[in-house]
Structure 1
Amino acid sequence: MLPKYEHAKTLFEGYELELTPECYEKLDCYASFLVEYNEKVNLTALTAPEDVLIKHFLDSMLLTKYIEIPLGAALIDVGTGAGFPSVPVLLLRQDLHVTLLDSLNKRIVFLQLLAEKLGLEVRCIHGRAEEAARKPELREKFDVATARAVAALPTLAEYCLPFVKPGGMMIAMKGPSEHASDGARAAQLLGGESPRAVDYTLQEDARRLICIRKISQTSTKYPRNSGQIKAKPLI
């Protein structure tokens, strides 16, 4: 399914990432299963081998280059979809303890089957972020929350930061049109520091990671229900 190993290895080396044959084999299995499953459940619009390799796998794994994730961290991927960025990150960092959260059960079923195929230990949860973050077993239990293409930054912060323990962080994968300052008020209200941005390029495409460090507990008033979040974002 994926381009040949030597091509992929060279591509990753260009971004100072090591791609072992073992990791490549698991990514290849991931890609094949993703494209096959995509025929019955809409998981991704990108199915060409090079696109999957670069725009899904490499882009996800670049988190480990630009953001320092602590050894053995508990990570929750909010609105994980087909497992991006968390599953590729886990293939590089198998010390992590990963929870996959998505509101669509069909995606959760795919992720459970994928984890079995790849031999990964992950926790898969079907639920809406604003409801799951109020559960005692999930609220402020994670070192890291990640999200990719889920919502605008103020809304995304309200979804993610309640999961993060003080001292942890949320990482949003964004394009260049969103700015760290867009999430400043939301971060303050939710117990976070001012957001900071890390810019990089994926081939010729501009990318931006926005990181918010959690410094205090989130007020119990957050997250609000979905109607309130949409009607009055924290801007």
Structure 2
Amino acid sequence: MLPDFELCCSEFSSFGIELNEDIYKKLDTYADFLVKYNENVNLTAITEPHEVLRKHFIDSVLLSKYVDIPQNSSLIDVGTGAGFPSVPLKIFRPDIKLTLLDSLNKRIDFLKQLCDKLEIEAEFIHERAENVSKMDEHREYFDFSCARAVANMSLLSELCIPFVKVGGRFLAMKGPSEDISLGKNAVEVLGGKIDNTVDYELFDESRRIVVVKKISQTPPKYPRNSSQIKKKSL
């Protein structure tokens, strides 16, 4: 499914990332299963092998290049969809303790089958993020939360920051066009602080990672329910 091993090695190495044959085989299995499953369940619009390599796999793994994720960190991928960015990251970093959260059960079913094929350990949660982060066992539990989504920074922050323990970080993978400062108030209300932003080029496209540090506990009333979140941003 993926381009040949040598080409994939070259693509990864252009970002200073080493690809070995074992990881390549897992990514190839991932790509093949994703594209076949996508014929019946809409998971991604990106199915061309080279595009899958670049826009799904390399972009996901770059998260650990531009952000320091210590060994054995716990990470929850909020609205993970087809597993991006966290499953490719887990392939490269098996030490990460991974939780995959999505509101659609058909995506969770895909991820369970995928992780079984890849022999990846993960926790799977089928529920809305705003409900899960109210649960004692998940609230302010994780070292990192992450999301790769088109939603604005204010909305993403309300869904993701409550999962993060004080001292942890929320990682938002964004395009370059959004004015991140518009989400600054939401970040602060939820107990966070925009630590830094990382802008990089993914071949011919611009990308941005917004790193939010959790500096105080999130007030108990957040996140609000979905209708309140959609009605008015923080």
Q: Same fold (TM over 0.5)?
A: yes
SS in 2 for 1:140: coil
Asked whether 1:107 is paired with 2:107, we answer yes
Structure 2 residue ranges without an equivalent (≥5): none
> Letter of the aligned partner of 1:132 in structure 2?
V
Aligned pairs (5 A) from 1:27-176:
27-176=27-176
> Letter of the aligned partner of 1:108 in structure 2?
I
SS in 2 for 1:228: helix
After TM superposition, the structure 1 stretch with the greater mean CA deviation from structure 2, 178-187 or 98-107, is 178-187
- The structure 1 segments of at least 4 consecutive aligned residues displaced by more than 4 Å after TM superposition are none
The number of aligned residues is 234
Question: How far apart are residue 180 of structure 1 and its match?
Answer: 3.0
Whole-Å Cα distance in 2 between the matches of residues 159 and 190 of structure 1? 10
* CA displacement, residues 66-120 of structure 1 (integer Å, 9 cap, x when unaligned): 0111110000000000000000000111110000000000000000000000000
Question: How far apart are residue 57 of structure 1 and its match?
Answer: 0.3
**1:195/1:232 Cα in 2 relative to 1: closer, same or farther (>3 Å)?**
farther
Question: How far apart are residue 196 of structure 1 and its match?
Answer: 2.3
* CA displacement, residues 194-216 of structure 1 (integer Å, 9 cap, x when unaligned): 35210000001000001100011
> Letter of the aligned partner of 2:126 in structure 1?
H
Q: 8 Å contact 1:187–1:195 — kept in the other structure?
A: no
Asked whether 1:185 is paired with 2:188, we answer no
**Could you tell me which residue of structure 2 aligns to residue 209 of structure 1?**
209
> Letter of the aligned partner of 2:36 in structure 1?
E
TM-score by length of 1: 0.98
Question: How far apart are residue 132 of structure 1 and its match?
Answer: 0.7
* CA displacement, residues 17-43 of structure 1 (integer Å, 9 cap, x when unaligned): 111110000000000000010011100
**Could you tell me which residue of structure 2 aligns to residue 21 of structure 1?**
21
> Letter of the aligned partner of 1:188 in structure 2?
E
Q: 8 Å contact 1:79–1:101 — kept in the other structure?
A: yes
Q: 8 Å contact 2:150–2:174 — kept in the other structure?
A: no
* CA displacement, residues 34-62 of structure 1 (integer Å, 9 cap, x when unaligned): 00100111000000000100000000000
After TM superposition, the structure 1 stretch with the greater mean CA deviation from structure 2, 50-59 or 178-187, is 178-187
Q: 8 Å contact 1:174–1:210 — kept in the other structure?
A: yes
Q: 8 Å contact 1:148–1:172 — kept in the other structure?
A: yes
Structure 1 residue ranges without an equivalent (≥5): none
Give the fraction of aligned pairs with identical amino acids, expressed as a percent: 56
SS in 1 for 2:193: coil
TM-score by length of 2: 0.98
Question: How far apart are residue 181 of structure 1 and its match?
Answer: 1.5
Whole-Å Cα distance in 2 between the matches of residues 63 and 32 of structure 1? 23
* CA displacement, residues 147-177 of structure 1 (integer Å, 9 cap, x when unaligned): 0015110000000000000000000110011
> Letter of the aligned partner of 1:4 in structure 2?
D
SS in 2 for 1:194: strand
